[in-house]
Chains A and B, each alone.
Chain A
Amino acid sequence: MSSTSPAPTRTRPATIRRFTGVQRLLHLILTITFLGMLWTGLCLWSPALAEVMNRPLAKQWHFYSAIALGVAFVLILVLRPRDVRAFASAVDQLDRADRAWLRGGPRRLFSHVGAPEQGWLNAGQKLNTAITIGLLIVLTGTGLLLWIGERNTAFRFAGTVDVHDLATILIVLLVSGHLYLAIFNPSTRASLSGMTNGSVDREWARANHRRWVEECEAQEPDDRS
């Protein structure tokens, strides 16, 4: 932290705020409930784990985890509709720089040589978010169908379990990549602190999300104070 005198210096903190407390709390709830659903789901799927956690208990907690995540999503929609709309818009809109980023393909994730200047999220982050939330909705829908189908045979379809399984495989692949990039990948792992303590290294952010950093700095009070 630069706690220099209020002289007309342009020194800025070494870190820059990346995610708000609410965003990190929601991400934490998603992490916990996702792991809960993954573990109980594996117990429901694998006979080897069926004895570790029996079906009735696993089903119950699978269900509770899903409900908890659903409640968190509904609460954020009700309590912070403006933040949700801003976030949805940030994820939704891919501008020229995003499309240029995409043309670089997955190579972008491993080096940022020649990367076009990015905003708060790059195209990979936007699409990952959009597809992950889409998969969560598919999992919720098929999960509800399985639940209702157990009570009313009119809602029992042979393809429901398959799609629930396929969506699980896809979301596990996405989350695995997400974890790899956040924890191990040298050019992206500096982003992890954004989710743990809220801030990331300013120079890393400048290299990877230059347009966002400049937008933030234009609003930062430090050259007005």
Chain B
Amino acid sequence: MEPEPPQRPTETPRDRLPLGRAAFLGTIAAGVIGVAALSRLGGMGVGNIVGSIGNVVPGMNSIVPTNGWRIYNVQDPMPTFDPATYTLVVDGEVDNPVRLTWSDVEDTAQVVSISDFHCVTGWSVEQVHWKGITPATLMELVRPRPAALHVNFQSLEEPYFDQLTMEQFKLPEVLLATEMDGLPLKRVHGAPMRLVIPQMYGYKGVKWLSHITFEREPTRGYWETRGYDADAWVGMDVQH
């Protein structure tokens, strides 16, 4: 055995403190407490805060232009909008089924509606300026029959699809949006048209809309067959 160098005092166990362990466990504890506390508060939107730096620091928006949005899609690649070939089919239990071209959509009356957008995973974007066709305008055009109790929304992004009841579809602020914040809907947000229903979580708002069908029977949407609520009311899931 090597003798201890005599000039250095020997460390006794009391001189060593398990501070590494404290930092390690403290970090994990902070994470656990953070999830519990922030869930109780309904989330704080860290991603939005970071994203909003883009609005404060000039030039940052082109680097991290999130504005609080996170982009969800289920199939690669995202659908690409071509105004020359795009059609929106509206049919089912209606007296006047239609096949709208993009210029038909552009010629249809559209209104602006401002609402907050909530994602079921915890993030939100406030005060989104949507412009689009109202359910009333669409129903005036296709004239649903009394047997129509549900509305199906099919995305160009197969197999994404979701459904609302007629009552839900008629809620105020529901839109078939073609513009967001004053600009044509971007590809990542569902160009050229998406469903907006601010009363419900974002997964109900089908993007890249291609086909709307009025139905007699309920069907479960993409996420609903994966365990999500068909009635995705914002703020209601805390009761589960």
Contacts and interface: CB of A to CB of B under 8 A. Distances in A.
A214 B5 contact: yes
B98 interface: no
A96 to B, nearest CB: 5
Task: Give the interface residue-count category, chain B.
Answer: 35 or more
Contacts of B229: 153
Interface of A: 44-48, 50-51, 54-57, 88, 91-96, 98-99, 123, 126-127, 129-131, 133-135, 137-138, 141-142, 145-146, 149-154, 156-163, 165-167, 169, 211, 214, 218-219
Contact of A151 (B17, B75, B226): B226
Give me the 3 closest cross-chain CB pairs, A-B, nearest first: A134-B27, A159-B38, A138-B31
A157 to B, nearest CB: 4
A40 to B, nearest CB: 13
B18 A93 contact: yes
A152 B34 contact: no
Contact of B39 (A88, A127, A152, A160): A160
Contacts, number: 177
A49 to B, nearest CB: 9
Indicate the member of B24, B37, B42 with the most A CB atoms within 10 Å: B24
B24 A130 contact: yes
Contact of B46 (A57, A133, A157, A166): A166
21 contacts: A44-B70, A47-B66, A56-B73, A91-B24, A92-B18, A95-B11, A96-B15, A127-B19, A127-B20, A130-B27, A134-B25, A138-B30, A151-B226, A152-B227, A153-B237, A161-B121, A162-B34, A163-B34, A165-B50, A169-B50, A211-B8
